[in-house]
Chain A
Amino acid sequence: MDTFVIHVFNALLYASVLFLIAGGLSLIYGVMRIVNLAHGNLYAFGAYVTAWAVGQWLAGAPTVVLYLLLPIGAVAAAILGAVLEPTLLRPFYRRAEEYQLLVTFGLLMILEDLMRFFWGPYPLTATTLFEKMGSVKIGESIYPRYNLLVVLVGGLAAAALWGFIYRTRFGVVLRATSQDMRRAAAMGVNVNRVYIEAFTIGCFMAGLGGAIVVPGQSAVLGMGVDALVLAFVVVVIGGLGSLQGALVGALIVGIVREIGVSTFPEVELAVLYLIAVIVLLVRPAGLFGRAA
């Protein structure tokens, strides 16, 4: 029983982080129809900024301050996104998808080295936050309390995003732009502003994913590239552009991965990719996507 509960928490932990990354990716695709290959690097950027702030910049500060500092990675990623969208991506909306993929691939390479330049080639850690929280007893076993916080943040982020998109005025504008950009523009929506805002929110989510994951793991080079393919799996399963899809996809991937790691570790990743392929074959638009 204890092990089962722990497995469930692990799956949820994994799903939370994946949702934050994939949800941002999906939101960006849904609104501006662009697949950002550098999205994983914004997640890594969030992780690096938080690790740097907590582990080096204010390393000696009181614990409370450090916990408040946690979201700084998300804010940094959002700012980076707000700069990148109008400068690099905007010229490409009218051009073929091939060029969008290429320019974001170039961006991926640049961001990867930017992090190497700022923080060096060695992993950056922020383990204080992980250790200070201690652990809870689950039956006979213990479980890190910090992981529960991650699950909570993931759940809250999903809820906040849902409320934001389906219950606010801005959400209406966002959905309208996503459904028909031209008609929204004709109705007086400032599409450029919506694009910046959507991209910034997407990057904020990716950065938040990085920020909350870093105390438990550490920030390493290449983490963005690894995360992106898994985020792809999630959005392919759930449907590109759909937030419910990203949530369900993240849960499926989290659960499959948790089962996979303990029962079929060799093919765990292959099974995930195969699930994505099967979904694409059966339902090309994903479980929750609308037809392209």
Chain B
Amino acid sequence: MSTVPLVLHARSPAKVLPWALPLVVVLFLLPHAIDPYQTILLAYGLLMGIGALGFNLLLGYTGLLSFGHSAYFGVGAYAVALMFKYLHVQSMELYLAGAILASVVVSAIFGFVCVRYTRIFFGILTLALSQVLWSLAFKFYPITGGTDGLRVPTPTLLGLARDDKGDKILFLASNYYYYVLGFFLACVVIMWIVVNSPFGKALQAIRDNETRAEFIGIHIRRYRFVAFLVSGVFTGIAGALWVPLNGLTTPDILYWPFSGEIVFMTVLGGFRTFTGPIVGAVVFNYLKTSAVGFTVYWQALLGSILVFLVLVLPTGIVGAITQLLPAVRKRFSR
């Protein structure tokens, strides 16, 4: 782990805003410039960004590789689907509240078990636990619909009746996109505060040197547990936001290769940076969609990219850019 240079350093808002604000403005204006299909793709990317951001609190900041984050994504998604099926809830806010509650409960239980371990055993344990949920969703046909999954219609946002005039695509590409964008921005800000807080610093201390962190009085297991909890909830929110967009939830999102995809996107963007997982999630989403459209062998294509990435570009897209940036600046300032 120590071979990768650290680029996680605190930045004051004054330094971040000059480049973050234009990006936010672009995200707000983009639906007017691109067609609905592209907007929906971007919405997928942004919500996966929330999930990857949560995942990276464990991998990038705490140094724990979870191979079971499909569990929390799936819990968020299934919480929404079950709330619709049994309670006939239609409101997205209630869905999200339910998903947060469910992912808190599940990640508290799983986290309690998992934080006793690190490294490879942590990975295997998270994987095994996520597969418990997968097998339940897969087998309890009367409740979860088995492989058929559960259908969820488009919900009402902020208590307003749907004003899409029956056009679901348009609704998803405008109202729902902005809804996802709002949550995305809120989650980014919250995560930014978390990782720059004393709590976030403690996590990084644990990652860099467990023994020393313990020596200065950090209660390692408790900190890891809280990180696990926050991480699970972020991924749960992503799952809940994903369901109305997809219209359907199936056990696939609980199966372990989906956890692999979450790891993939985080590493693609760069797990040693704050923005890496977001960039990775958006890029991965485009990459996967275009690879699937381009060839039936999209898995081989993505797999090759992953192998290449790990071999040549272990710091990911953002990591590579931050390493290149000083050199470029130097050339221009001459």
A269–B138 touching, CB < 8 Å: yes
| Contact status A116-B297, CB under 8 Å | yes
Inter-chain residue pair count (beta carbon < 8 A) = 128
A270 in contact (CB, < 8 A)? yes
Q: Which of A255-292 contact B (CB under 8 A)?
A: 265-270, 273-274, 276-277, 280-281, 284, 292
Pick from A103, A117, A284: contact of B117, CB below 8 A: A284
User: In the complex, which residues of chain B have a beta carbon less than 8 angstroms from the beta carbon of A101?
Assistant: 65, 67, 123, 263
Report A45 CB to chain B, min CB distance, Å: 14
The 8 closest A-B pairs by CB, nearest first: A109-B303, A269-B135, A106-B306, A113-B300, A110-B303, A106-B307, A106-B303, A109-B299
Residue of B nearest to A92 (CB): B310
Summarize B's interface: helix, strand, loop or mixed: helix
Q: List 17 contacting pairs A-B, 8 Å CB cutoff, sorted by A.
A: A101-B67, A103-B311, A105-B263, A106-B307, A107-B303, A108-B257, A109-B299, A109-B300, A110-B304, A229-B256, A232-B124, A232-B127, A232-B128, A269-B139, A276-B128, A280-B125, A280-B128
Q: For A133, what are the chain B residues with a Cβ–Cβ distance below 8 Å?
A: none
Bound Cα distance from A88 to B297, whole angstroms: 20
**Which among A92, A99, A281 is the interface contact of B116 at CB below 8 angstroms?**
A281
CA distance A265 to B136 in the complex (A): 11
CB < 8 Å neighbour of A266 from B128, B129, B140, B296: B140
Inter-chain contact A284/B121, CB cutoff 8 Å: yes
- Given A113-B298, A273-B135, 19 more A-B residue pairs with CB atoms under 8 Å apart are A99-B314, A101-B65, A101-B263, A106-B303, A109-B300, A110-B299, A110-B307, A112-B300, A114-B300, A117-B297, A117-B300, A229-B128, A232-B127, A266-B136, A269-B131, A269-B135, A273-B131, A274-B132, A277-B132
Verify B310–A229 contact, CB threshold 8 A: no
Q: B120 within 8 Å of A by Cβ?
A: yes
Residues of A within 8 A of B (CB): 35, 37, 88, 91-92, 95-99, 101-103, 105-110, 112-114, 116-117, 121, 225, 229, 232-233, 236, 240, 265-270, 273-274, 276-277, 280-281, 284, 292
